[in-house]
């Protein structure tokens, strides 16, 4: 008697399905009349789009968040942002720990895959630290925001502050302040600094947090060099993040300096802070302090590059990730210099890491290219506007050159799928959709050199 094989889902497939189910539940709630500000249910496609952009912490919206949704609808959106930023697996694991339930091997595998960790040891503590650290930083951000928003909006400012803090830390870019995002606060240094810090902290990743705290806690009075004792991952993440933020800010400052539609008529200090914020927000945050459609083509190109790279692994940001790009560039230079090994900060990068970085790049660019071609075929817009939109969706950024609100049904569906693929991650998507690997050690294929480049 032949036994039927039992159908089981892999951990990666469970993670993908958890995001999908969260989106579907969220869309059903947002499609209810109670979620609408005027009591009339919004079209389901717009509810689905909003649920997707919230869960995928993207920020592209077909309807203005501040005027479309009721308080109930805004609460649903905020919960989706929080779940999307942390991951449904993390939230569920946190609830298990809160109820004093032990984590089984299946739960640990899910968390390991959700955060792309290399070990299963200390996962319960890791989840607790992630949840506590997230709520602690979001709480501080909310309190600081209240110093500005409560005097301006009254009691409503408390809710605006909480919403904005969670959205900024989770790199979602959705706000309930105004329909033009943060353009009204473009020259407010306090709002710029708080928002930028929340974005950067969320984008650096939890691993970097704990590593920095470990080094600071264990350092001796005689040795105050923190950077030297960090892990290779933290060194790469911090260095590339700082470099990209400064690189982007300088180039945007130069390219927009005389542009009267953006920063051309601002003071020197305001030009600097707006350029800095634009560089930070393109790292998958999505808040806009200047109209993106008014950027010069050069600044738009710089923003696209920053969006593609995104934040760092094991954080709330999207994109190809800083560590991925650093490994790819280092590998390319090693090949050019005829070196057999790829190394950074005096440490050799494993061949598996290099292969994984290449896989992320190829899958990411494939999603982005396919989305761009399809969107160009369904809407009448400039190539720059379309490419900006699809890169923003793939990297879960949320910045748009005023294209999202004009999308037709097919365009909305394309962006919905793109945001979902971008959030679950190129590697997770490829693993989930691919079949189980067969034994590759039975017969080894013959090797043959080919011409490259």
Give the DSSP per-residue string, 154-192: TTHHHHHHHHHHHHHHTT----SS-TTTTGGGTT-HHHH
Q: What is the mean pLDDT of each run of 10 residues along the chain (453 residues)?
A: 57 78 95 96 97 93 95 96 79 63 60 59 74 91 97 96 95 92 94 95 88 82 76 91 95 96 96 96 90 95 95 85 92 88 88 88 92 94 95 93 94 95 70 50 60 59
Output the pLDDT for position 92: 64
Output the pLDDT for position 97: 60
Output the pLDDT for position 443: 58
Cα 258 from Cα 246, distance rounded (Å): 20
Tokens representing 376? 């160009």
Output the pLDDT for position 445: 65
Tokens representing 43? 């079209």
Output the pLDDT for position 154: 95
Output the pLDDT for position 296: 96
In degrees, rounded to 5, the angle at the alpha carbon of residue 255 between the alpha carbons of residues 395 and 296 is: 65
DSSP 8-state symbol, 264: T
Give the DSSP per-residue string, 175-235: -SS-TTTTGGGTT-HHHHHHHHHHHHHHHH-HHHHHHHHHHHHH--TT---TGGGS-HHHH
Strand partners, 92: none
Continuous H helices in 56-155:
65-68, 71-86, 88-98, 105-114, 123-153
Closest CA to 321 of 379, 360, 279: 360
Tell me which long-range contacts 271-275 makes (C-beta under 8 A, separation of at least 24).
273/187, 273/189, 273/192, 274/186, 274/187, 274/192, 275/249, 275/250
φ and ψ of 437, to 5 deg: -70, 140
Quick check: helix, strand or coil at residue 36? Answer: strand
């Amino acid at each position: 008697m032949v036994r039927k094989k039992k159908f089981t889902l892999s951990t990666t497939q469970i993670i993908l399905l958890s995001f999908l189910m969260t989106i579907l539940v969220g869309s059903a709630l947002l499609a209810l009349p109670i979620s609408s500000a005027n009591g009339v249910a919004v079209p389901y496609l717009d509810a689905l789009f909003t649920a997707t952009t919230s869960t995928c912490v993207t920020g592209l919206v077909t309807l203005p968040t501040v005027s479309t949704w009721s308080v109930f609808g805004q609460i649903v959106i905020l919960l989706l942002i929080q779940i999307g930023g942390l991951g449904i697996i993390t939230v569920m694991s946190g609830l298990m720990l809160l109820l004093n339930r032990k984590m089984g091997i299946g739960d640990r595998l899910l968390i390991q895959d959700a955060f792309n960790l290399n070990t299963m040891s200390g996962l319960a503590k890791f989840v607790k630290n992630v949840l506590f650290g997230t709520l602690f930083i979001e709480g501080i951000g909310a309190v600081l925001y209240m110093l500005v928003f409560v005097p301006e909006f009254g009691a409503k400012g408390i809710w605006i502050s909480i919403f904005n803090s969670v959205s900024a830390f989770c790199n979602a870019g959705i706000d309930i302040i105004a329909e033009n995002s943060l353009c009204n606060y473009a020259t407010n240094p306090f709002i710029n600094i708080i928002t930028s810090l929340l974005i950067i902290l969320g984008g650096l990743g939890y691993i970097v947090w704990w590593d920095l705290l470990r080094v600071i806690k264990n350092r001796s009075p005689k040795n105050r060099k923190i950077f030297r004792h960090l892990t290779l991952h933290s060194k790469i993440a911090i260095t590339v993040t700082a470099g990209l933020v400064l690189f982007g800010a300088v180039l945007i400052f130069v390219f927009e300096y005389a542009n009267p539609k953006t920063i051309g008529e601002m003071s020197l200090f305001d030009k600097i802070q707006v350029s800095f914020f634009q560089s930070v927000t393109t790292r998958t945050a999505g808040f806009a302090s200047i109209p993106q459609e008014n950027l010069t083509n050069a600044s738009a190109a710089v923003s696209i590059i920053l969006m593609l790279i995104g934040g760092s692994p094991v954080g709330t940001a999207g994109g190809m990730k800083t560590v991925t790009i650093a490994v790819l560039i280092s590998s390319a230079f090693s090949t050019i210099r005829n070196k057999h090994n790829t190394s950074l900060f005096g440490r050799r990068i494993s061949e598996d890491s290099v292969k994984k970085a290449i896989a992320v790049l190829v899958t990411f660019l494939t999603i982005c290219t396919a989305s761009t071609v399809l969107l160009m075929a369904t809407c009448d817009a400039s190539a720059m506007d379309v490419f900006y939109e699809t890169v923003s969706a793939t990297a879960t950024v949320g910045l748009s050159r005023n294209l999202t609100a004009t999308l037709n049904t097919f365009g909305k569906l394309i962006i919905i799928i793109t945001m979902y693929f971008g959030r679950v991650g190129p590697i997770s998507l490829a693993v989930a959709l691919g079949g189980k690997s067969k034994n590759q050690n039975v017969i080894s294929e013959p090797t043959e050199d080919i011409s490259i480049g």
